[in-house]
Amino acid sequence: MTSPTPGAHPTGVGSVDSSAGDTAAPGVRSSGSGDATDAAVRVLPRLLLLTDRRQARRPLPDVVAAAIDGGARAVVLREKDLGYADRRALAARLAALLAPVGGTLLLALPTPPATPTGRQTDDPGRTQSGAGDRHEVHSEWGAHGVHLPAGAPVPTPRPRLVGRSCHNATELAAAEADGVDYVTLSPIFPTPSKPGYGPPLGLAGLERLTARTRLPVYALGGVTVREAAACLAAGVAGVAVMGEVMRSTDPAATVAALVKEVA
């Protein structure tokens, strides 16, 4: 990983607000260049929150606000089926919620569509209509970086912080070769949120695959408060959680419990 971003807290909490809720994952720092307006970029905490409005018991911004109250400091905005304007508006709302605590917003990018020539684009927000029609959507929308699907190319120009979803050793090796900053590895446990990716890896598989990469790994898929500490013991940098928080009747309490487990 690169040297610490200027302005990052010496303990590794790259956040304007270094409260007790900000438990940083060692080594997860942005590789892109920061600027004076990006004081919070970017060291990720041990807990990543992924959104899914379909599982949420309340409007998604309300769930995220409660999660932030509980200590969440990094949110990956999914909702990739939303239209451009709706998703941009949602990103702006989440960015505004995270700003007071120096939190990090990551934009999950869809699998790049193929152009008429068969070439994949790296446009994160719209279908590319021409060679010059590219948009740095993650920064325009208030996000500090992007989270890529497995196998997707790193966008150019490179965002400050780039993560990628992985599910096996081959995808982990490709992510390392491509120089991403962190990966999620899933599914670790049985979960309805991650269908179609084969049998769960389990803690043994998580430990085995984590040991094969130098990248910070976040355990994803069926991770609850009960399993969070065991995932950390398997060698990961942190845990990524979606359904446990989205479906919670008390997201703030659930996140507080997760933060405690991974501290």
pLDDT score of 42:
57
pLDDT score of 134:
38
pLDDT score of 23:
67
> 24-111+136-262 — its CATH code?
3.20.20.70
Which phi and psi angles does 4 have, rounded to 5°? Answer: -60, 145
Is-cis flag, bond preceding 26, omega within 30?
A: no
pLDDT score of 2:
37
Domain locations along the chain: 24-111+136-262
pLDDT profile of the chain (263 residues), mean per 10 = 31 33 65 44 86 97 98 97 94 97 95 54 40 52 94 92 97 97 97 74 98 97 97 98 97 98 96
Strand 47-50 relative to strand 238-241, pairing: parallel
pLDDT score of 115:
47
